[in-house]
Structure 1
Amino acid sequence: MHRIAGRDIALPTRRSFLIATGAAGAVFGFARAGAGSLAPATAPSTLPPQFEPTIWYGIGRDGVVTVNIIRAEMGQHIGTSLARIIAEELAVDWDQVRIVHVDSDPKWGLMVTGGSWSVWQTFPLYSQAGAAGRIAMIDAGAKLIGVAPAACTAAGGKVSAGARQVSFADIITHGLPDRSFTPDDLKALPIKAAARRQLIGRPVAALDIPAKVNGSAVYGIDAKIPGMVHARPKLPPTRNASKVVSIDDAAARKVPGYLRSIALDDPSGTVPGWVMVIAESVVAADRACALVNVTWTSGDAAHVSEKHIQDRARALIADPKGGALVVADDGVDAAFASAASTVEATYTTASVLHFQMEPVNALAVPVGKGFEIHTGNQWQSLILPTLAKALGVTEAQVVMKSYLLGGGFGRRLNGDYAVPAALAAKALGRPVKLLCTRADDARFDSIRSPSVQTLRVALGAGGKVTAMTHDVAAGWPTQVMAAFFMPKAKNGVPYDPFAISGADHWYNVGAHRVRALSNDLANSTFRPGWLRSVGPGWINWALESFIDEVAAAAKIDPVAYRLQMLDASGGNAGSAPNAVGGALRQAEVVRRVAAKSGWGAKLPADTGIGIATSFGQERDMPTWVACAARVHVDRATGIVRVQKLDLVVDAGTVVDPDGALAQVEGGALWGLSMALYEGTEIVNGQVADTNLDSYTPLRIGDVPEMAIEFVASTEVPVGLGEPATTVVGPAIGNAIFAATGTRIRHLPMRPAAVLAALAETGSAKR
């Protein structure tokens, strides 16, 4: 037995299981009876003893399958999606399946929920795990029945041979199966043909809904432990380089329940200048916080504005020697030199907040020489080393307990909010619960960086694109928080792949050059974050708007122009396993959405349809999406009313139809929100908007009609959390142009900006 963070844990022996999740695949060992396999430490104690064929699930003596989920649940029903992959291959009925969201442990490997990766990364691993378990149960069941394994089949949690059958529960009761698999064995396992699937792609009840409906679901904000105190932070004037000079809590001492205020000493540098106001209740902490006066020295960012950041981005783009060459084809300069004509445009986006429903929070509990952190988090593997550094302990002495998230959208990939709670708990020697107000959350947010992009194309005969350059400057979240994730570009310069994803697109544009530039002023002013879709949220806005501009310059229909360039030539032909079909699949969603939206039909005055397309996040995990937005523009007010959004999606195999639809709906509506309504700016080093009175995301009255179609496919399942977010903005921008002849190049496209653009082109209503 090993004692970790106050819990006795029996670590499985090599005889019980061996698993590696690297490039070599996975190895599963199936233990004999009595080999010592133990139920997961986080599973409810009421569960009967389990047979654990792998660390990913266990089968109870009652036949119930408990699937271990390492992905965060933030409303997307990820446990339901992933559990059915195992259940499908294991051959059990859905009512036999349960899920448990596990705590941090090195054995799980990379614990991260983001990038639309969860189903894509988990599908092969869980399929193998389920198939391995099915084969092991068939072998063991065959022995009990007294026939050869080849004479048996598995279905509904039973092994059958003709009229004779034995349940998985009975098999486990009679002794655990004895079967092992090498990585090569696993790769060769017979996975069900798509036509034989009973759960994947079929409607099932989401496993997490009952608890969410009856109120028994526990979110991070609900975490509590006897003896804990409550904390609210006093935030410094700048995210970085602020220092506490003095604390005056004389007025706060009059608040019943107020205990003390602590200036945090943070060796990790995560929360410099933070003061934690400690009290016996949330209300007391909130009241006292308003009365505590702190004097700080601030960092240089106290004088930085949104304009300064964007001006810095433009200066970086203007220097041809800087940046990382992500795409660097030969012949770009020669193509421009011989071009019949060129087109150039610059696009910008504003700062954007996450504004998830549940403000960030964490409960830190000293346990022995270590700590437990109770919170909802999307990337446990990232924040654990930071917590260890802040607390002066080893990473093994910190355990992150998993809770449901009241929205994440990338904010909780950065687990920085756990650090101040942990430091306060260390200073006090008792549990501390940090709860940020909505305004605290906004000021402490890891925002989506503002961006500047300049695109150029060289045009040849017939409007054919012979070369394209694309320069992108923005804050880089991965550089700031996870530099180990940064690859090197063609010129040897490390770059943030999540801040440039989408620029290496599937269009045939001849010679292509993409340059990514880190906006150092953005990085030092705030902590850039991963917000739903990250780089493609600004990349696709510029790229798809610009493709329309180029089509107009070439005097070619924008849909026909896209189809002409999505020819799957050269490197755009696609490859197995994830990008089979390449650009032809993107062309197909464009064709379908054009037909679906009535492209080319005559429309009322000041009404237009715009189309945009995307391939999701990365070239090695493409989710092909196209959107057609129908909008009406009021020339007198500048108000843009989106009447309908049509979307067509090719995500390969759709594992969870209801979840997939919800992801696309939610992503598209957030894309609409960021296109027309939502955005803030940096003023004196801080975000200007800290609550929903001035920060104005999409309201329900502005939700348009939506029609979403999924392309039937048996290809590899890829991600759906983010792709729809990126196509709506450019589709709306293109529709505004179609309706008015006016091009807008900044997000969000608020009425004042629309009016200004109309006036500039002489199109405003007089």
Structure 2
Amino acid sequence: MRKLGNKQGDSSSISRRGFLIAMTATGVSFGFPRSWAAMDPASPNGEVLPSAADVYEPSLWYSIDSAGKIKVNIIRAEMGQHVGTSIARILADELEADWQDIEIIHVDSNEKWGYMVTGGSWSVSQSWPVYRQAGAAGKTALIEAAAKQWGVAASKCKAQKGKVVYGTKTLSYGDLVAKGLSRQFSEEELKALPLKPNKDLSLVGQQVTSLDITNKTNGKAIFGIDAKIEGMVYGCPILPPTRNGSKVSTLDDSAAKSIKGYQQTLILEDPSDTVPGWVMVIASSFYAAQKAAKKVKVSWQAGAAAYVSESDFMAEGRKLIQDASQGAILDTGNSDTAAAFEQASSTLTQEYTTHTVLHAQMEPVNALAFQNSDKVWEIHSGCQWQSLTLPSLASALGVKENDIIMRSYLLGGGFGRRLNGDYTVPAALASKALGGKPVKMVLLRTEDFQFDSPRSSSVQLLKMAFDQDNKVSAMEHHATAGWPTKVMVPAFMPKGINGESFDPFSISGADHWYSVGAQKVRAISNELANKSFRPGWLRSVGPGWTNWALESFMDEAAHHIGADPLTFRLDKLIAEGRNAGVEPISIGGAARQAAVLQRAADLIGWGQPQAADTGLGLASTFGQERNMPTWVAVAVQVHVNKSTGIVKVQKLHVVVDAGIVVDPNGAEAQCQGAALWGLSMALYEGTEFVNGKVKDANFDTYTPLRLSQTPEVKIEFIPNTAAPAGLGEPATTPVAPAIANAIYQAVGIRLRKIPMTPEDVKTALSRV
């Protein structure tokens, strides 16, 4: 039996016999691009596929076959957000394709796809120009081919719903491909192609059926945890007492030998230092591996973090903030605040903190690894950042990156956890120790929590100076936390104006769009946190703490001078200078943030009298980064039970301006999920480190938002023709400060830590 492809030119090097991990279903395929199918007459779902001669690829991003089917290649991970549907419709709209002819392929990690990452709410925004140009190229080539066949000028023809039309004559895209097409476009030609005016887009912004919804609802969807291959064994890890620096001292597996199916226990040797001190129990079944692991006795020499807890991170953060020599100063145009504070009529200074937060995604991390018959290492797993994971795998296995291929699977929850593909390394190391034999590793929930790359705790200090007319003359924002980018991809760190590098994802949000005079933003790495565990990117990343502090502080500043919190903010959202925004995404700048804030206030009934112990709160944000802002405002109504300390969020209204909304249903779902995630972290969700480990091991003590705690949620989008921005994360961050601000209005207490627990409320009330 011949192999399908080869490791250099094609990413599908696996025998037909071993093809038990196929993930092809109606409308969507995972891991195995259809290009391999031209080499074999039978596809994984039994259809007869066209030969290579009957397929036209106007660009890397899609192909059209002689049946008129259009297969769109997607490099972004699918984790419930229907990203393939969004990206495919961008292309289909420009191509003038019939939506019924569209299929999507979530591709593997072949280097031809370029840099692969799904995070930062970047997917649709970054895909917008690329897939529109690609669609325009195909449309141009098809029109030219039809015009040539009819002997007419291409300008006399048009494309619509998968056909080229000239008067009463039509030619389908499939017919044109069958006759042979080879037109290709250079980068310069692609950029020069005219695109449809935004007002003429017919699929973008309209209701369509998501291409992956059928299989997600009928049980056919395949996740990483479902991956299988003939002859695989199961690995159950035994985790060391600390994430970093642990070493195995002794190991006794004598009791495990009584378990049927138990094979052996491996001490993993990891050159990449991703999983130091890991032990992997190998068995013929998942259950045998789990049973045997309970009988294996291991002792470790623990790393230094065994003596470090959450309070130590907080103490270190406060110490770092007080040291003016620490950290990087961001370029805000004018960061010299000293004179304004010296001359201030009054000042305000407050500290805000956040606790460690776990990802707690529903599908525990997992991976299947083996070396195929072409000596290529195959890694089967759901992953958000293949281009970051591949170097770690290469280092661990001692091979080149192009000797590894990562197969794409559905993610049962990402939220940033699978940006860090560290969980693929132990499976690969176990397979290597077994001579390349397939090893399937699935972490239990308790292991998944312990091995998480959590969002670091943070400490922030904010200051504001006011002149004699109570106008803001200067503002400072100092933030310290563990930095995931420094730990995992330091090349992504720019330098501040003082020459120090900083993690942009741990300070974004602090460089806000309010006009506050001189503005200093200082980002400080908490090295104690970085060394004690592996900080990770969690949905919204830095703004999860920076916006908590900023929007709480803006409320406090308004009350400090006796101003209305809404008016205070609106007066400072002035679209001038660096806050005016630029084409194509941030155009309009602060004025767009002001618009969503005003609309949210109107929806909640800002200024209207409330019942006893009930209050309204506002907060807004620009999302993640200044060059890709998504303007979001949140308004909440809360009731505080003074006896129990329980805060009940009764209404949660979210107003969003993300430019052109490509997928209305997906956009609403994304914002609903993000806002409820923000609510969960505000009131219910959080953990802490105790002697090097997170104290919560499962959902019995780690308690995210439950359905019964969910308020009335309303999402509203403000129409805008600016290029699309991201929607997966921005609605997360304004929720917590809006709740804190509403609590203050309801019962007069100010909470400056999240999560805000009933105990925190009762303690604050006892001091009033």
Same fold (TM over 0.5): yes
Residues 5 and 436 of structure 1: CA distance in aligned 2, closer, same or farther (over 3 Å): farther
Residues 69 and 330 of structure 1: CA distance in aligned 2, closer, same or farther (over 3 Å): closer
What amino acid is the match of 2:582? Answer: S
* Cα distance between partner residues in 2 of 1:306 and 1:338: 38
1:447 aligned partner: 454
Deviation at 1:145, TM superposition (A): 2.3
1:181 aligned partner: 185
What amino acid is the match of 2:664? Answer: P
1:409 aligns with 2:404: no
What amino acid is the match of 2:137? Answer: A
1:130 aligns with 2:135: yes
1:519 aligned partner: 526
* Cα distance between partner residues in 2 of 1:4 and 1:427: 27
* Bigger shift: residues 569-578 or 535-544: 569-578
1:272 aligned partner: 276
1:25 aligned partner: none
Indicate the SS of the match to 2:733. helix
Q: Which residue of 579, 591, 598 corresponds with 2:598?
A: 591
What amino acid is the match of 2:391? Answer: P
Residues 4 and 268 of structure 1: CA distance in aligned 2, closer, same or farther (over 3 Å): farther
Indicate the SS of the match to 1:544. helix
1:507 aligns with 2:511: no
1:620 aligns with 2:627: yes
* Cα distance between partner residues in 2 of 1:344 and 1:746: 15
Deviation at 1:218, TM superposition (A): 1.1
Deviation at 1:644, TM superposition (A): 0.4
1:93 aligns with 2:98: yes
Residues 395 and 10 of structure 1: CA distance in aligned 2, closer, same or farther (over 3 Å): closer
Indicate the SS of the match to 2:549. helix
1:67 aligns with 2:72: yes
What amino acid is the match of 1:305? Answer: S
1:395-449: CA deviation from partner (whole Å, max 9, x where unpaired): 0000000000000000000000000000000000210000000000000000000
Deviation at 1:198, TM superposition (A): 1.2
Deviation at 1:39, TM superposition (A): 5.0
2:725 aligned partner: 718
1:641-694: CA deviation from partner (whole Å, max 9, x where unpaired): 000001110000000000000000000000000000000000010000010000
1:27 aligned partner: none
What amino acid is the match of 1:451? Answer: S
2:375 aligned partner: 369
Indicate the SS of the match to 1:562. helix
Matched-pair contact (CA < 8 Å) for 1:5–1:397:
no
What amino acid is the match of 2:272? Answer: S
2:210 aligned partner: 206
Matched-pair contact (CA < 8 Å) for 2:310–2:689:
yes
* Cα distance between partner residues in 2 of 1:194 and 1:399: 38
Deviation at 1:482, TM superposition (A): 0.5
CA RMSD of aligned residues (A): 1.6
1:40 aligned partner: 35
* Cα distance between partner residues in 2 of 1:705 and 1:197: 33
Q: Which residue of 385, 388, 399 corresponds with 2:391?
A: 385
1:680 aligned partner: 687
What amino acid is the match of 2:387? Answer: S
What amino acid is the match of 2:195? Answer: I
* Cα distance between partner residues in 2 of 1:277 and 1:364: 15
What amino acid is the match of 1:172? Answer: V
2:18 aligned partner: none
2:707 aligned partner: 700
Residues 42 and 759 of structure 1: CA distance in aligned 2, closer, same or farther (over 3 Å): farther
1:477 aligns with 2:484: yes
Matched-pair contact (CA < 8 Å) for 2:267–2:280:
yes
TM-score, normalised on structure 1?
0.94
Indicate the SS of the match to 2:116. coil
Deviation at 1:347, TM superposition (A): 0.2
Alignment coverage as a number of residue pairs: 734
Deviation at 1:48, TM superposition (A): 2.2
Q: Which residue of 229, 234, 244 corresponds with 1:230?
A: 234
Matched-pair contact (CA < 8 Å) for 2:58–2:185:
no
1:760 aligns with 2:767: yes
What amino acid is the match of 2:89? Answer: R
Matched-pair contact (CA < 8 Å) for 1:454–1:470:
yes
What amino acid is the match of 2:35? Answer: P
Indicate the SS of the match to 2:623. strand
1:221 aligns with 2:196: no
1:167 aligned partner: 172
Q: Which residue of 419, 424, 433 corresponds with 2:425?
A: 419
Indicate the SS of the match to 2:672. helix
Matched-pair contact (CA < 8 Å) for 1:139–1:177:
no
> Unaligned regions of 5+ residues in structure 2, if any?
13-32
Counting only pairs closer than 5 Å after superposition, residues 150-161 of structure 1 correspond to structure 2 as 150-161=155-166
1:46-82: CA deviation from partner (whole Å, max 9, x where unpaired): 4324211111000011001000000000000000000
1:270-327: CA deviation from partner (whole Å, max 9, x where unpaired): 0000000110000001111111110100111001010001100000001011101114
Indicate the SS of the match to 1:617. coil
Matched-pair contact (CA < 8 Å) for 1:439–1:691:
yes
What amino acid is the match of 2:419? Answer: L
* Cα distance between partner residues in 1 of 2:242 and 2:3: 40
Indicate the SS of the match to 2:630. strand
1:709 aligns with 2:711: no
Counting only pairs closer than 5 Å after superposition, residues 497-646 of structure 1 correspond to structure 2 as 497-646=504-653
Indicate the SS of the match to 1:642. strand
* Cα distance between partner residues in 2 of 1:338 and 1:331: 13
Matched-pair contact (CA < 8 Å) for 2:659–2:719:
yes
What amino acid is the match of 1:48? Answer: P
Indicate the SS of the match to 1:673. helix
1:321 aligns with 2:325: yes
TM-score, normalised on structure 2?
0.94
Matched-pair contact (CA < 8 Å) for 1:238–1:298:
yes
2:358 aligned partner: 353
What amino acid is the match of 2:405? Answer: V
* Cα distance between partner residues in 2 of 1:644 and 1:399: 47
Indicate the SS of the match to 2:745. helix
Deviation at 1:195, TM superposition (A): 2.2
1:104 aligns with 2:109: yes
Residues 592 and 478 of structure 1: CA distance in aligned 2, closer, same or farther (over 3 Å): same
Matched-pair contact (CA < 8 Å) for 1:5–1:398:
no
* Cα distance between partner residues in 2 of 1:706 and 1:301: 41
* Bigger shift: residues 459-468 or 639-648: 459-468
Indicate the SS of the match to 2:68. coil
* Cα distance between partner residues in 1 of 2:684 and 2:330: 32
Matched-pair contact (CA < 8 Å) for 2:347–2:463:
yes
Residues 402 and 330 of structure 1: CA distance in aligned 2, closer, same or farther (over 3 Å): closer
Deviation at 1:148, TM superposition (A): 1.1
* Cα distance between partner residues in 2 of 1:494 and 1:148: 57
* Cα distance between partner residues in 1 of 2:473 and 2:590: 18
Indicate the SS of the match to 2:330. strand
* Cα distance between partner residues in 1 of 2:506 and 2:118: 17
1:15 aligned partner: none
Matched-pair contact (CA < 8 Å) for 1:42–1:102:
no
What amino acid is the match of 2:297? Answer: N
Indicate the SS of the match to 1:720. coil
1:738-758: CA deviation from partner (whole Å, max 9, x where unpaired): 101110000000100011111
1:32 aligned partner: none
Indicate the SS of the match to 1:238. coil
Deviation at 1:187, TM superposition (A): 2.4
1:339-385: CA deviation from partner (whole Å, max 9, x where unpaired): 00000000000000001010000000112433100000000000101
* Cα distance between partner residues in 1 of 2:655 and 2:195: 28
1:432 aligned partner: 439
1:116 aligns with 2:140: no
* Cα distance between partner residues in 2 of 1:383 and 1:304: 28
1:155-211: CA deviation from partner (whole Å, max 9, x where unpaired): 010000000110000001111143x43333322322111222110000000101111
Residues 261 and 42 of structure 1: CA distance in aligned 2, closer, same or farther (over 3 Å): farther
